[in-house]
Amino acid sequence: MNQEIFLGILRQHEGILHKICRLYRDTPEDREDLFQEMVYQLWRSYPSFQGEAKVSSWIYRIALNTALASFRKKMPEVTYPDRLPDDSAISVPVFTDQQEQLFQALQQLNDGEKALMTLYLEDLSYQEIAAIIGIEPNYVGVKINRIKSKLKTILKPDP
């Protein structure tokens, strides 16, 4: 397992992890915990990644599954036997006011809707989204249109 390649992939795609953390956790501490758990899960699954899908699709699948799984179960205190590579180059992004408003609106969606919109906002194709989420490509379009209408209502300023 090549640690440098993994760190390069992580650096290149860390924005994906930060966006998912921002959508699925409310406090900075919870976001940091989720980020660490996602990195750990990526590290664990890295040896089995065979490059059949895009790296970003693999990261989305692991990150979203990790975010959703941690909601479903209480995590016992865990000690991890393997050390993750240490890299101080990974930083926390700063979001604009408009991005913050969008995150707040997205947080009002259910978990499935959040996952779909996260992938859609990354300009993934319906086929890629369907492969990551596990639904039919045609259904992706239907769901996204419904979610867009819902978001318009949420973002609509009160008169």
Helix axis angle for 55-72 and 111-121, nearest 10°, is 160
What are the tens digits of pLDDT across the range 55-81? 988 999 899 889 888 655 444 454 554
Share of the chain above pLDDT 90, in %: 20
Check whether residue 129 and residue 151 sit in a common domain. Answer: yes
Distance, CA of 136 to CA of 141 (rounded, Å): 9
The model's pLDDT over 80-133, given as tens digits with 9 standing for 90+, comes to: 545 555 655 556 667 788 888 888 888 888 888 988 998 898 888 998 888 888
Instruction: Say if residue 88 is in the same domain as residue 104.
Output: no
Higher-confidence position of 80 and 155: 155
pLDDT at 34: 92
Residues 75 and 139 in one domain: no
pLDDT score at 74 = 46
The angle, 0 to 180 degrees and rounded to 10, between the axes of the packed helices 126-133 and 55-72 is 40
- Cβ(140)–Cβ(130) under 8 Å? yes
Distance of alpha carbon 151 from alpha carbon 148, whole angstroms: 5
Q: 74 and 110: one domain? A: no
Using the predicted structure, report yes or no on whether residue 140 has a pLDDT greater than 50.
yes
Q: Which of 69, 93, 117 lies at the terminal end of a domain, its last residue?
A: 93
From residue 74, how far is each of 44, 58, 71, 95, 120 by CA, in Å?
20, 25, 7, 30, 29
Structural domain containing residue 59:
1-93
Do residue 65 and residue 116 come from a single domain? no
φ and ψ of 89, to 5 deg: -75, -10
* pLDDT band per the 50, 70, 90 thresholds, residue 53: confident
pLDDT digits (tens, 9 = 90+) for 18-38: 989 988 888 888 889 999 999
How many domains, in total, are found in the chain? 2
In the prediction, which pLDDT does 158 show?
64
Judgement on whether residues 74 and 127 belong to the same structural domain of the protein: no
Residue 9: exposure state from Cβ atoms within 10 A (0-12, 13-18, ≥19): middle
Claim to verify: residue 100 and residue 78 sit in the same structural domain: no
Structure confidence at residue 83 (pLDDT): 58
Do 101 and 87 fall into the same domain? Answer: no
Question: Computed over its alpha carbons, how large is the radius of gyration of the chain?
Answer: 16
Indicate if 61 and 118 belong to the same structural domain: no
CA 146 to chain centre: 21
